[in-house]
Chains A and B, each alone.
Chain A
């Protein structure tokens, strides 16, 4: 707590970008203990800096050297502090979080926010979390995967992905929460700790970044990738029809204008191919969970054929356990079964491919809700959704660990 008599407030007028940048640099010099308040980012802009007495000489010298206008405000500092506190509270969401503890998990975020979150999490947990860039989206965005590992080489792995369909916003939001949950629980929760001691977890939160960006800027209902299709004015391929499993068969569209367009060929989309390459080169994934919304379902292969997968009995029983655990939290009820029986025939789907690669515990979730809000799930349901889903994921991961050498 700084005594008010030891503070001076300088009001600075930044004339251009260069000056703004300089002020930003100044504010980041932690030893000066400055509090900077900027009203707008339009130029010229007024910036108030509360300067502890001990830093005053340094700051003034800096401003004068850089020819930045300022004057000392003679003002009731307590009033000003109160005003500032009020402003900060009301714009809390606009201020970038400084740590993953400050991050607002109960809201939807832009891709920039999520990417910044990923870097923060890695920086805060360097011994547990690393970021792997497995490829680039069509528009050149990095495809980031967080690796949670307690060390070792080629440990068996669990893969989780969210956001492969960009409009399913509760999934990216949940994925962000899962990431934080893992670092929070390691060393505190016995079950999660046991899983991570034996296996690595890979989490791709924004699996379709181009689409996600597009849902923020242009069309909230966009599902597919954003790669153009030659000879058509329609853009995008459905990344969950683009995998090499039953590709070309019924359960996907061959029209670029369709939301379930399979693409020109299997793995044509970099967002898909990058995961394919990762899975193959890792070679030791034991579980693969791809998360969607909405419908409240837990699904296992196959989607492209009615032939039951050979592990159907085990997958069915595990699914039952997982959704029972899920329901224990808020009573949310899920249906479960094979894709083709429970929701529809779909070819070229993710978990059909991963299962055929030998990843037995291949599951797809469809999170909340069942249609009332659909894709536009209110933000106040993010945390309950993430928390209940986590219980189901834990059931799957524990079973995987117990059945992995």
Chain B
């Protein structure tokens, strides 16, 4: 039985750092993590960035139907997944509201279709500067734990913790959007693990989703944590790039999802890395 939460998210304000820092010429991945020579910098035309800044800075509040709100809300979605996600809880943004603190949570499982509502409010800070660092999110949610996934998580954990039958899979979902039911929790775990990267890599000019789990391999359980190597494909909407990452992921019902290592994969071995793109 799988559970998926769809969250209707509210972002009240987006707080920016020093405005002069908003102008980015494009740089590599986040400081402190793997710097790959083939990394795809997500640059932005100066003009565009300035226009976006002006819109936000003058109003102070985001128009919920325009893209800055959507991008910010997606960052909050990634954050919530890093905090609350599991193989049975993969949280998705549904709609952005502004000016109120309303969240609708849609829970889907194989037997019943129901919905639970809750409340989330969030504040988001995109720091600028050289050596960009990850956005900072503060979010508080009520009602997020109303869907009880504990039993499934525990069963899944017990099923896979013994190392005599390590699982692996690839192309989840496949080209036709299909996956074996037994693969679904691994897909969702991949999505949650990807959220760590997507959160870290996000800025005002990005919007990330996980496109596919290329493959995953279960490793021996260590310190009571299930362990996996994952190769995931992320889709970045503004550049439209498909970005490959390898992750070392652990999970247990108690510790939640943790990402121990990440490694950016080159786009293709014989390709030149694109120079700073004017997106």
Q: Give residues in A with beta carbon < 8 Å to B.
A: 107-108, 169, 215-216, 220-221, 223, 232-234, 238, 250-255, 257-260, 295, 306, 333, 335-337, 341-345, 370-381
Contacts and interface: CB of A to CB of B under 8 A. Distances in A.
B177 A233 contact: no
A257 B273 contact: yes
Given A250-B48, A341-B63, A371-B235, 7 more contacts: A107-B176, A220-B212, A260-B239, A306-B51, A335-B70, A344-B237, A373-B177
B277 A342 contact: no
Contacts, number: 121
B173 interface: yes
Contacts of B275: 255
Contact of A374 (B47, B235, B274): B235
Interface string B47-85: 110010000000000010111001000100000000000
B177 A381 contact: yes
Nearest to A258: B274
A371 B209 contact: yes
A234 B271 contact: yes
A379 B271 contact: no
Given A107-B176, A250-B48, A255-B275, A238 B66 contact: no
Interface string B217-237: 000000000000000010101
Given A342-B65, A344-B237, A378 B178 contact: yes
Contacts of B92: 370-372
Contacts of A379: 176-178
A260 B242 CA distance: 12
A382 to B, nearest CB: 9
Interface in B89-105: 90, 92-95
Nearest to A333: B95
22 contacts: A169-B175, A220-B175, A221-B233, A223-B240, A250-B45, A257-B274, A259-B239, A260-B240, A260-B277, A341-B65, A342-B66, A345-B45, A370-B93, A371-B92, A372-B92, A373-B173, A373-B177, A376-B175, A377-B177, A378-B176, A378-B177, A381-B177
Nearest to A381: B177
A233 B273 CA distance: 10
Contact of A253 (B67, B94, B277): B277
Contacts of A336: 65
B272 interface: yes
A251 B267 CA distance: 21
A238 B240 contact: yes
Contacts of B212: 220-221, 376
A297 B235 CA distance: 17
A257 B240 contact: no
Interface of B: 4, 45, 47-48, 51, 63, 65-67, 70, 74, 90, 92-95, 173-178, 209-212, 233, 235, 237-242, 267, 270-275, 277-279
A341 B67 contact: yes
Pick the 4 closest A-B CB pairs, nearest first. A378-B177, A371-B209, A250-B45, A259-B240
A233 B270 contact: yes
A238 B239 CA distance: 11
Given A258-B274, A259-B239, A344 B279 contact: yes
Contact of A375 (B70, B74, B174, B211): B211
Contacts of A306: 51
B62 to A, nearest CB: 12
A232 B93 CA distance: 39
Contacts of B4: 372
B48 A335 contact: no
Given A250-B48, A375-B211, A257 B271 contact: yes
Contact of A335 (B47, B65, B90, B278): B65
Given A108-B176, A344-B67, A370-B92, A376 B211 contact: yes
Given A221-B233, A337-B65, A376-B173, A260 B270 contact: no
A405 to B, nearest CB: 33
Contact of A345 (B48, B70, B277): B48
Given A341-B66, A378-B178, A253 B48 contact: no
Contacts of A342: 65-67
A260 B277 CA distance: 9
A380 B178 CA distance: 9
* Residue among B90, B209, B239, B273 with max Cβ neighbours from chain A (10 Å): B209
Nearest to A260: B240
A333 B277 CA distance: 32
A249 B67 CA distance: 20
Given A259-B239, A370-B93, A376-B175, A250 B67 contact: no
B278 A254 contact: yes
B278 A252 contact: yes
Given A257-B271, A259-B241, A337 B211 contact: no
B85 to A, nearest CB: 13
A169 B278 CA distance: 27
